[in-house]
Amino acid sequence: MEARTEALQRIMEIVESVPETETTFISIATVVGGVLRNVLSAEKTAASATISLAQRTQMEQMRNETSEMIEALGVILPERVSLKKVEAEKEPSWWFALSEVNHVLEESIDQLSTLVSQQEKGSAVRDLIAQAVRLMREHYNVYMEEARNWMDG
């Protein structure tokens, strides 16, 4: 949880520190925002399909963290990163919702990891992507633990 809070705080600091005219940052942040919107949709679906209050609480907390990342990007890039409400898919099965959010996170992490490796070391844009990936990995680990617990009964 602490690592997730640190990553989110760092993202907010990065966004606030970059000039609005930094085109590379704007372009990459737009991509990151789009990826996060896909993750948020899957996380909302997983939260709505939970089978216990403890799961729901944990899933909603992660969903809120993803939403806060999108909002942080949307503050500086309101015309590029949509703050429009992200809808959840209808999925009555907890297992399928959990599988889907893990799949979306895996793809998103892979996509952004490739992007981070192409950025200049020490740059704000590289740090932004790395922090987003860090937070998504933390979420992925929690969802994988939920899957293990569910399979173990």
Cβ atoms within 10 Å of 103's Cβ, excluding its own: 11
pTM of the model: 0.89
- Number of residues that make up the chain: 153
Question: CATH number of 2-81+91-152: 1.25.40.10, 1.20.1260.10, 3.40.50.720, 3.10.20.440?
Answer: 1.20.1260.10
Any alpha helices (H) in 49-123, and if so which ranges? 53-76, 94-117
Per-residue pLDDT of the chain (153 residues; tens, 9 = 90+): 676 788 888 888 898 888 877 888 888 888 999 999 999 999 999 999 988 898 899 999 999 999 988 888 887 776 666 667 777 788 788 889 999 999 999 999 999 999 988 999 999 999 999 999 999 999 999 999 988 888 886
> Quick one: residue 52, left, alpha or beta (phi over 0 = left, psi -120 to 50 = alpha)?
beta
Give residue 138's identity as a one-letter amino acid code. E
